[in-house]
Amino acid sequence: MEYSEFLTRIREVKKMGYVKSHREGPTGIGKTLEDLLGLKENNIQGPDFSNYELKASRKGSNSMITLFTKKLEPDSGEKLWETYGNRGKGSTSSKSKQTLLVGSVGDDEYIPPSERRLHSTVITQAENPDSFILVVDENRITIKNKKNVECYYSLSILKETLEKKYASLIHVLADHKKDKGQEYFWFNEAYLYSGFDFPTLMKVVREGRIKVDVRIGHYPDGRVHDHGTGLRISPIYLPECFQSKSKIL
């Protein structure tokens, strides 16, 4: 789909008014928009269509947008999972105000791989309950931890991937409501962001406004499964990461 066709379709979607979500939960908004536009859901590292990445947000929501998902280096986070994985009892961190799964594996406790998981949100400004903190240098974004497990994203790979994926970004906003437990969306506002600015993105990371979500679990046979570890950002900070912004709907 080319940009001109997208504009035609998104204007038609706006005219539809409130539309029943095509999927329950947080990802329902993206799935619904893609279906209405005739786009297939994908997990590719490149743009969603033509040279454009597409994101959707609920108006007034603090839900974060995933910019990038990629396995951690050098071993896909497997060593971090082996060292800090737990049985997944949730608690709320007062530091990050994120629901984390805490309680690292103790030296005297063995948790079988089939029961082990690691869900942790990490920023640069403070340690989280797993004692993880992001450290940014000229080459890497590292998840520093007290047991010195090597775990990072290389900035060269991150820069190449993000510049390819975000040549241009279309951010669609929707009013939303619930009726009898069912969510509905009215997609009625959209912006085009152009000129991805990697140095500014890294500034936002250093300021603690972008988070790394570690989500590593297991397959039934115990093999490690990275569920989408990556960078997440609040929608209000998106414009800072691009050189230009224009309203298109």
Residue 206 · residue 196 · CB < 8 Å:
no
| Distance (Å, whole) CA 127 – CA 42 | 33
pLDDT at 13: 97
pLDDT at 117: 82
pLDDT at 113: 61
Entry pTM: 0.82
pLDDT at 90: 37
pLDDT at 88: 55
pLDDT at 94: 30
Residue 176 · residue 110 · CB < 8 Å:
no
Mean pLDDT, each 10-residue run in order, the chain (249 residues): 93 97 92 92 67 93 88 86 70 32 43 74 93 94 94 94 92 95 96 95 93 86 77 92 95
Fold of 3-247: PvuII Endonuclease; Chain A (3.40.210)
Domain borders along the chain are 3-247
